[in-house]
């Protein structure tokens, strides 16, 4: 089975990843946070490719597990259980990836999830958090729109999320340097990658 922490970018991206390694060989992590439907995955995929980093996303893990075990569509409890297992898998894999983009619906005020980020930092990882800023109402609207798309994966059961429920994702972890992006409009991935490279070049 392929190593999920092996960057699959072209040679140029691999050279970039090599340059972005810490001079002391420390792990480097780009953590992409923000509300559900705020464009995190849309940002994380091309960003990881541009940097030459591996990519770990909760939804990729959840959908793979759901398909592999032939999960029951529409079962809310099962979806929550497999979602929790997917987060556990992401946190378990993350320390083994020398350069990686992590993306999920992180509950940034959860002490459990904050402890996971803190543990990575305490182990020596250099972390930059990219926070996708989107108003609650717009995030809620996009969530419902995405849920009703024909190709929406059956691993995801919830059809809507109220603006009030978006509140728990409203601020970044802020346990490391934060680059905030406005995802009401498309993000300039090249400019963002250069900001990350500049931050790590200091």
Instruction: Report the CATH number that the domain containing residue 191 is assigned in CATH.
Output: 3.40.50.300
Q: Residue 65 domain-assigned? A: yes
**Model confidence, pTM:** 0.86
Please tell me the total count of domains within the chain: 1
Burial (CB count <10 Å: 0-12, 13-18, 19+), residue 149: exposed
- Give residue 130's pLDDT: 98
Rounded to 10 degrees, what is the CA torsion of 40, 76, 73, 83?
40
- How far is Cα 102 from Cα 116, in angstroms, rounded to an integer? 12
- How far is Cα 161 from Cα 142, in angstroms, rounded to an integer? 10
pLDDT at 25 over 80: no
3-state helix, strand, coil in the chain (%, to 5): 50, 15, 40
Q: By residue range, what is the domain housing residue 136?
A: 28-201
- How far is Cα 75 from Cα 15, in angstroms, rounded to an integer? 44
8 Å CB contact between 105 and 183: no
pLDDT at 13 over 80: no
8 Å CB contact between 183 and 38: yes
8 Å CB contact between 187 and 181: yes
3-state secondary structure of 129: strand
pLDDT at 157 over 70: no
- Give residue 20's pLDDT: 59
Q: Residue 34 domain-assigned? A: yes
Helices H, strands E: what count in the chain? 7, 5
Q: What is the pLDDT of residues 114-135, one digit of tens each?
A: 999 999 999 999 999 999 999 9
- How far is Cα 65 from Cα 72, in angstroms, rounded to an integer? 12
Averaged pLDDT score across all residues of the chain: 87
What is the mean predicted confidence (pLDDT) over 41-54? 96
8 Å CB contact between 58 and 41: no
**Percent of the chain, pLDDT > 90?**
61
Q: Residue 21 domain-assigned? A: no
Q: Residue 174 domain-assigned? A: yes
Q: Residue 8 domain-assigned? A: no
Q: Residue 1 domain-assigned? A: no
Q: Residue 42 domain-assigned? A: yes
Q: Residue 172 domain-assigned? A: yes
């Amino acid at each position: 089975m392929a190593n999920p922490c092996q960057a699959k970018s072209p040679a140029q991206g691999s050279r970039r990843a090599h340059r972005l390694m810490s001079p002391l060989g420390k792990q480097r992590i780009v953590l992409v946070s923000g509300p559900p439907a705020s464009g995190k995955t849309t940002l994380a995929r091309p960003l990881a490719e541009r940097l030459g980093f591996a990519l770990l996303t909760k939804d990729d893990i959840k959908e793979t597990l759901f398909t592999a075990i032939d999960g029951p569509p529409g079962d809310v409890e099962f979806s929550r259980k497999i979602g929790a297992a997917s987060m556990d898998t992401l946190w378990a894999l993350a320390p083994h990836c020398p350069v990686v983009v992590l993306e999920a619906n992180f509950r940034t005020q959860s002490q459990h999830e904050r402890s996971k980020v803190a543990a990575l930092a305490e182990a020596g990882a250099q972390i930059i958090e990219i926070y996708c800023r989107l108003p609650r109402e717009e995030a809620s609207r996009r969530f419902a729109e995405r849920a009703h798309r024909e190709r929406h994966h059956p691993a995801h059961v919830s059809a809507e999320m109220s603006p009030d429920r978006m509140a728990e994702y409203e601020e970044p972890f802020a346990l490391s340097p934060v680059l905030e992006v406005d995802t009401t409009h498309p993000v300039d991935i090249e400019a963002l990658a250069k900001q990350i490279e500049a931050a790590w070049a200091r």
